[in-house]
């Protein structure tokens, strides 16, 4: 689509794309999802509205892509597998705490979570595009631990993932208490006890 005579069109495109995604995330945090417009994103990014519509069909599509980018891309790195399940889980839960309490991330995420309460379709897209890849990455690490005999055979790994991240989101969304690394570590310690194979009987 880019004019072949424009110097370095792909670099210019990439710069515009980044500016649009950054503007989208900032504006969601500032005005909320419902009041966000493609016009406002274009103005903040310094591009024309038609540039946005060339790449995305709707404001929802821009915002979702922006969140995917913000949370590390559509293929988040697999968790490190050091053999030490506890350390690996502490690492990912601490990183989640960092992200949830990072001002760049917190306001836009709260705005999108708020909108998701009223808009089930947006919620579903958000879960599939942004959350699910991260939950799956944790699940894969648990599966490798289960194969290594560090997690009991019968454990439903999908539920195990929510046992780890659920308490973090509970604090973050409902603001029951401060969300800290120490809390993440305590949740990991409890979850480790929940998941490990029984000593023998019972």
Q: Which two tokens stand for residue 112?
A: 């999108």
One of 15, 44, 49, 110 touching a copy of itself (CB under 8 A): 110
Do 23 and 45 contact (CB within 8 A), yes or no?
yes
Q: Is 153 in the site for a copy of itself (CB under 8 A)?
A: no
Nearer to a copy of itself, 19 or 100 (CB): 100
Do 27 and 35 contact (CB within 8 A), yes or no?
no
Nearer to a copy of itself, 27 or 47 (CB): 27
Q: Which two tokens stand for residue 148?
A: 């290594």
Nearer to a copy of itself, 16 or 109 (CB): 109
Q: Is 97 in the site for a copy of itself (CB under 8 A)?
A: no
Count of CB atoms situated within 10 Å of the CB of 65: 19
Q: Which of residues 155-194 bind a copy of itself (CB under 8 A)?
A: 155-156, 158-160, 162-163, 165-171, 173-177, 183, 186-187, 190-191, 193-194
Q: How far is the CB of 38 from a copy of itself (least distance, A)?
A: 22
Helix/strand/coil percent split, the chain, to 5: 70, 0, 30
Using DSSP, state whether 6 is helix, strand or coil.
Answer: coil
Q: How far apart are the first and last CA of the chain?
A: 65
Q: Which residues bind a copy of itself (CB under 8 A)?
A: 32, 110-111, 113-118, 120, 123-124, 127, 131-132, 135, 155-156, 158-160, 162-163, 165-171, 173-177, 183, 186-187, 190-191, 193-195, 198-199
């Amino acid at each position: 689509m880019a004019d072949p005579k424009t110097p370095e069109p792909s670099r210019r495109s990439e710069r515009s794309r980044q500016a649009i995604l950054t503007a989208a995330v900032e504006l969601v945090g500032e005005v909320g999802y419902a009041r966000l417009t493609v016009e406002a994103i274009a103005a903040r990014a310094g591009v024309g509205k038609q540039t946005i519509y060339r790449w995305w069909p709707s404001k929802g599509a821009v915002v979702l892509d922006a969140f995917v980018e913000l949370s590390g891309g559509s293929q988040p790195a697999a968790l490190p597998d050091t053999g030490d399940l506890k350390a690996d889980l502490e690492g990912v839960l601490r990183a989640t705490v960092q992200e949830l309490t990072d001002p760049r991330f917190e306001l836009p995420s709260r705005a999108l979570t708020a909108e998701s309460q009223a808009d089930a379709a947006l919620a579903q897209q958000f879960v599939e595009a942004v959350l699910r890849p991260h939950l799956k990455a944790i699940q894969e690490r648990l599966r490798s631990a289960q194969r290594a005999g560090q997690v009991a055979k019968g454990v439903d790994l999908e539920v195990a993932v929510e046992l780890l991240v659920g308490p973090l989101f509970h604090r973050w969304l409902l603001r029951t208490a401060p969300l800290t690394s120490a809390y993440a570590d305590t949740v990991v310690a409890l979850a480790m006890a929940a998941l490990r194979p029984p000593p023998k009987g019972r």
